[in-house]
C-alpha cells in the first residue's frame, strides 16, 4: 500500500535529486532524467526532480520510481501500436533504452479545454486564439470542457538555456524543416492511436486521460520509435471521472492526479516564467505530490505501489546496473 502523506514527510529531504552512478558515463542531465552510456547502451535514470514551466521546482520522494514503472507499464501495453525504445528495467529508477535520433517536436494530444502554461490550450483560448496549432476552435468554450474532438497540438522543444516550448502547427513544422510531411503524419496518427488506447484503459479505472505529450525518434534502421515516457503524471493530465461533472458544472478545477498540484501552487504565487526568485514549496505540499503520484500509479496500473526505500539510491542503482550488464 502506498505511503500516507505523513509517512512520506521524512523522505522529503532524501529524494533523488542528483545521480552519481559509478558505472558508465553520464552524458546528459535533463530536467527529470539523466542519461548514461554503459557498454554502448543508453541508460535513462528517472530522478525525483519535479519540472514545470521548463524549470526544476522541487524533488518529490519516490516520484522517479513511479514514473519509471508507469512508463514501463504503458510501453508493454502499447507496443502493438508503435515500437518503443524500452529494452529493460534493471532498477526501479533506471531504464535501458534504444538509442534514437529524437524529433525536435513534442506531440501534445488534447481532449479538454484546460491548462496553466503559456503553451496550454486554455491560456491561449483566453487570449483570443481560435486557431491553435492549426486546429480551429469554436467560440464560447469553457475551462475544463470537453473539446469537440481530440486534437494534436505540437510544441517545439527548447533549443537553448532559458528558451521555452513554442506551440506550432504542422505547416510550420514542415516549412522549418523540423520534420518531413511523411514523418509528421505517421507520428500524429500514432499519437492519436496511443491517446485513444490510453483513454480507454483509464476509463475502466475511474480516470479521464485529459491530455498528454509524446516524443518520438528514429532508430538506426530508420524506424519511427516512441521515446521518453508515456501516460505518466509528468507527461499527462488525469482527472477523477466521478468528480469531473460536478466540478465542471461548479466552475471548479477537476480533481487531478498529476503535477498540476504544484503548477497551480506556483501560478497562484508568482510568475514562474519571469520572476528571478521563486518561493520554496512547503514539505507538506511535496509530500502531497508524492502521495498523488503513488495513488496515480495504483489507479492507472491497478497494482499496489510499494516504494523502494534504499538509503543510498545511487549505490543501489549502480549494483543493479552492474548485475544487469555483467549478466
pLDDT tens readout for residues 245-255? 999 999 999 98
Ordered per-residue pLDDT tens for the chain, 327 residues: 568 889 999 999 889 999 999 999 999 999 999 999 999 899 999 999 998 887 888 999 999 999 999 999 999 999 999 999 999 999 999 999 999 999 999 999 999 999 988 889 999 999 999 999 999 999 999 999 999 999 999 999 876 555 578 999 999 999 999 999 999 999 999 999 999 999 999 999 999 999 999 999 999 999 999 999 999 999 999 999 999 999 999 999 998 876 777 888 898 899 888 888 888 899 999 999 999 999 999 999 999 999 999 989 999 999 999 999 987
CATH architecture of 5-326: 2-Layer Sandwich (3.30)
* Beta strands 135-136; 101-102: pairing state: unpaired
Note whether 117 and 123 are within 8 A (CB): yes
Angstrom distance (rounded) from CA 99 to CA 119: 28
* Beta strands 236-240; 207-218: pairing state: antiparallel
pLDDT tens readout for residues 266-313? 988 998 888 888 888 999 999 999 999 999 999 999 999 999 999 899
Domain ranges of the chain: 5-326
Q: CA angle, 52 as apex, 88 and 254 as ends, to 5°?
A: 95
Note whether 275 and 306 are within 8 A (CB): no
Phi, psi of 212 (to 5 degrees): -160, 170
As a three-state string, the secondary structure of the chain is CCCCHHHHHHHHHHCCCCCCCCCCEEEEECCCEEEEEECCEEEEEECCEEEECCEEEEECCCHHHHHHHHHHHHHHHHCCCCCECEEEEEECCEEEECCCEECCEEEEEEEECCCCCCCCHHHHHHCCCCEECCEECCCCCCCCCEEEEEEECCEECCCCCCCCCCECCHHHHHHCCCCCHHHHHHHHHHHHHHHHHHHHHHHHCCEEEEEEEEEEEECCCCCEEEECCCCCCCCEEEEEHHHHHHHHHHCCCCCECCCHHHHHHHHCCCCCCCCCCCCCCCHHHHHHHHHHHHHHHHHHHCCCCCCCCCCCHHHHHHHHHHHHHHC
* Beta strands 101-102; 207-218: pairing state: antiparallel
Phi, psi of 252 (to 5 degrees): -95, 160
pLDDT of residue 161: 54
Grid coordinates representing 90? Answer: 534493471
Angstrom distance (rounded) from CA 305 to CA 2: 5
Angstrom distance (rounded) from CA 7 to CA 125: 41
- Give the dihedral of Cα atoms 128, 134, 139, 142; nearest 10 deg: -80
Amino acid at each position: 500500500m502506498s505511503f500516507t502523506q505523513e509517512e512520506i514527510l521524512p523522505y522529503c529531504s532524501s529524494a533523488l535529486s542528483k545521480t552519481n552512478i559509478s558505472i558508465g558515463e553520464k552524458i546528459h542531465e535533463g530536467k527529470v532524467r539523466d542519461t548514461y552510456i554503459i557498454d554502448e547502451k543508453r541508460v535513462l535514470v528517472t530522478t525525483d526532480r519535479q519540472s514545470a514551466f521548463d524549470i526544476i521546482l522541487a524533488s518529490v520522494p519516490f516520484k522517479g520510481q513511479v514514473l519509471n514503472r508507469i512508463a514501463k507499464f504503458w510501453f508493454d501495453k502499447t507496443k502493438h501500436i508503435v515500437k518503443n525504445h524500452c529494452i529493460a528495467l534493471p532498477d526501479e529508477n533506471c531504464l535501458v533504452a534504444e538509442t534514437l535520433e529524437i524529433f525536435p517536436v513534442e506531440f501534445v494530444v488534447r481532449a479538454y479545454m484546460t491548462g496553466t502554461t503559456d503553451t496550454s490550450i486554455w491560456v491561449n483560448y483566453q487570449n483570443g486564439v481560435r486557431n491553435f496549432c492549426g486546429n480551429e476552435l469554436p467560440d464560447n468554450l469553457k475551462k475544463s470542457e470537453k473539446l469537440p474532438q481530440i486534437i494534436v497540438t505540437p510544441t517545439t522543444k527548447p533549443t537553448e538555456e532559458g528558451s521555452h516550448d513554442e506551440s506550432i502547427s504542422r505547416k510550420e513544422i514542415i516549412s522549418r524543416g523540423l520534420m518531413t510531411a511523411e514523418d509528421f503524419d505517421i507520428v500524429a496518427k500514432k499519437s492519436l492511436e496511443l491517446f485513444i488506447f490510453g483513454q480507454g484503459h483509464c476509463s475502466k479505472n475511474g480516470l479521464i486521460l485529459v491530455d498528454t505529450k509524446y516524443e518520438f525518434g528514429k532508430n538506426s534502421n530508420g524506424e519511427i520509435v516512441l521515446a521518453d515516457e508515456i501516460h505518466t503524471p509528468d507527461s499527462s493530465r488525469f482527472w477523477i471521472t466521478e468528480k469531473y461533472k460536478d466540478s465542471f458544472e461548479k466552475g471548479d478545477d477537476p480533481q487531478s492526479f498529476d503535477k498540476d498540484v504544484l503548477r497551480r501552487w506556483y501560478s497562484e504565487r508568482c510568475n514562474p516564467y519571469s520572476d528571478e526568485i521563486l518561493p520554496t514549496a512547503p514539505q507538506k505540499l511535496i509530500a502531497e505530490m508524492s502521495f498523488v503520484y503513488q495513488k496515480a500509479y495504483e489507479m492507472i496500473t491497478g497494482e499496489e505501489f510499494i516504494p523502494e526505500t534504499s538509503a543510498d539510491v545511487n549505490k543501489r542503482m549502480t549494483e543493479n546496473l552492474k548485475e544487469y550488464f555483467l549478466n
